[in-house]
Amino acid sequence: MKRFTMPGTEIVAPNVVLGLMRIQEKTDDEVRELVRTARDSGIDFLDHADVYGSELHGCERRFAEAMQLTPSQRDELTIQTKTGIVGEGPYFDFSYEHIIESVDGSLAALGTDHIDILLLHRPDALVEPEEVARAFDELEAAGKVRAFGVSNHTPRQIDLLKKYVRQPLVANQLQLSITHAPIVAQGVAANMAGEQQSLTLDGGGILDYCRLNDITVQAWSPFQAGFFTGVFLGSPEYPELNAVIDRLAAAYDVPAIAIATAWITRHPAQMQVVLGTTSPERVAGAALGSEIPLTRAEWYELFRAAGYRVP
């Protein structure tokens, strides 16, 4: 498992992360097996959110109840969670009061005295960055949160927060897979008139922006074809892509899911792949993609097979 020190932190993190948004209905044994498989594969970085589960803090609580971590076991893990989505609306809330209440709820649900990384989950159109800064300062001073970041944010939204927030924003969690790669495709197709993928979206250049500003990109839904439209692996809708994936999987002697992982980990932006599966087998298979040295030719072949234009 490839590891790196996340810029702006002292966290030595794996480039594959275990996401726990689907564990609400899992038994204690199933949760333990999932986490144990991840740990055996070199994954000690866990991704939560306050809204994951059938109730507020549901998956965070299910995790804590199943794992019953000792203080030393807790310290072996990097636990990340998110705040800002109000499920009853739904709507978004980056107010000081909501952030503080959410973090206190996450700490209680997780049974821990600190969160390693707190992300703002989705942009709040009504954000008052001074309130975010006040909340972050208080949480840091109390030792409740050690590092901060965002999710699904554009360059200018991050700049607005950075005008007031003193702490470095160390991560931006963004949707990315071989078949859902606008944050990569825009740059490849720059200055190509008439090409849909050349259109500037969300302010443009978020991947390069994160690299320039030492923000680790965390790729969520790395195997989804689109926005929760189903996985592309083995899908009859992507015959050319799957043929390339299967050929490379055979060449590297890994399962297909490892090649899908490797397409992201091969990128020099040093991104993390956030797994959403609750299958231990798929977790172990994906982890094998952590260090696969795809060549440029192989990387671009996958990109083209997914339907993207390479001039």
pLDDT digits (tens, 9 = 90+) for 253-280: 999 999 999 999 999 999 999 999 999 9
Most confident option among 177-191, 195-209, 228-242: 228-242
Distance CA 103, CA 93 (A): 13
Active site residue 52: yes
Distance CA 121, CA 203 (A): 19
Distance CA 228, CA 188 (A): 25
Share of the chain above pLDDT 70, in %: 95
Which CATH number does 3-306 carry? 3.20.20.100
Tokens describing residue 267: 């990128």
Q: Which of 52, 209, 238, 308 is catalytic?
A: 52
pLDDT for the residue numbered 55:
96
pLDDT reading at 159 higher than 70: yes
pLDDT for the residue numbered 196:
63
pLDDT for the residue numbered 195:
55
How many residues appear in the chain?
311
Average pLDDT, the chain: 95
Whole-number CA gyration radius for the chain: 19
Amino acid identity of residue 250, one-letter, is: A
pLDDT for the residue numbered 247:
98
pLDDT for the residue numbered 131:
98
State the pLDDT confidence band at 228, using cuts at 50, 70 and 90. Answer: confident
Is the CB of residue 199 less than 8 Å from the CB of residue 311? no
pTM: 0.95
pLDDT for the residue numbered 187:
73
Q: Name the DSSP letter for residue 177.
A: -
Q: What is the pLDDT of residues 184-201, one digit of tens each?
A: 988 776 655 555 655 666
State the pLDDT confidence band at 93, using cuts at 50, 70 and 90. Answer: very high
pLDDT reading at 235 higher than 60: yes
pLDDT reading at 58 higher than 60: yes
For residue 85, which of 38, 144, 21, 25 has the smallest C-alpha distance?
21
Q: Kindly list the domain boundaries of the chain, sorted by start residue.
A: 3-306
Tokens describing residue 107: 């700490």
